[in-house]
Amino acid sequence: EAQVTQNPRYLITVTGKKLTVTCSQNMNHEYMSWYRQDPGLGLRQIYYSMNVEVTDKGDVPEGYKVSRKEKRNFPLILESPSPNQTSLYFCASSSLGRGLGDTQYFGPGTRLTVL
Amino acid sequence: QQQVKQSPQSLIVQKGGISIINCAYENTAFDYFPWYQQFPGKGPALLIAIRPDVSEKKEGRFTISFNKSAKQFSLHIMDSQPGDSATYFCAAVSAGNMLTFGGGTRLMVKP
């Protein structure tokens, strides 16, 4: 089954304690991306990756890091989480084979609470 | 600053009625406009999408209307059903497959 998986699904942590949210896709997609979803603000892009070892900032990259060492994985790293990073996070992937507009497939989301 | 503005934030429609959600964008570099549907506890899923070279696209009960000169587009859900109750996001895509989302509309269809 084609899917994007994220772990953990729920996480409660404290300010300053480094954490990693994993994302994996099994569709051999080149493009992967992280979003955060906050009420009234929709989904905002944090980072994206066009392929292995190629990453770039989205709209709200401050406080986050990513890496793309393998095509299927795109972890999101919070080196020193703060309460304003409490949010619902989504990973997404898509093919770039047809150029603009390929369907982005979203993972199930990770609800993060930073105390 | 939101580059894609969506309204209304919430919408209540009776079963069988028409649900209308509107979006406006500013960046003329956008050239693909998808709509996503999100159910509670799930990630967004592509519902329907349009390119700016057409003014309307229909798939079943869902229709996108696109006005390029006004930089506006809208989603119409005909014969709305309780199962359509979800949050809907419009989005705009620019180079590199970057999605910019609207703020979302929470739709409730009353039986």
pLDDT surpassing 70 at residue B38: yes
Q: Do A43 and B43 touch (CB under 8 A)?
A: no
Which A residues in the span 12-71 are in contact with B, Cβ-Cβ below 8 Å?
Answer: 31, 33, 35, 40-45, 48, 50, 56, 58-59
pLDDT surpassing 90 at residue A39: no
In the sheet that holds A76-78, the strands lie side by side as A4-7, A19-25, A76-78, A65-66
Q: Do A90 and B44 touch (CB under 8 A)?
A: yes
**Stretch B53-64: mean pLDDT:** 94
Instruction: pLDDT band for A101, please (50, 70, 90 cuts).
Output: low
**Stretch B51-74: mean pLDDT:** 94
pLDDT surpassing 60 at residue B19: yes
Q: What is the DSSP letter of A9?
A: S
Q: Is A98 at the interface with chain B, CB within 8 A? A: no
**Alpha helix (H) residue ranges in B55-106:** none
What pLDDT is recorded for position B98?
Answer: 76
What pLDDT is recorded for position A102?
Answer: 64
**Stretch A65-87: mean pLDDT:** 97
B-side interface with A, Cβ within 8 Å?
Answer: 2, 4, 6, 9, 31-32, 34, 41-46, 49, 51, 89, 93, 95-104
Give the closest residue to B88 by CA, choosing from A48, A43, A104, A98. Answer: A43
What pLDDT is recorded for position B97?
Answer: 67
**Stretch B45-57: mean pLDDT:** 90
Q: What is the percent of chain A with per-residue pLDDT over 70, rounded to a whole number?
A: 94
What pLDDT is recorded for position A3?
Answer: 92
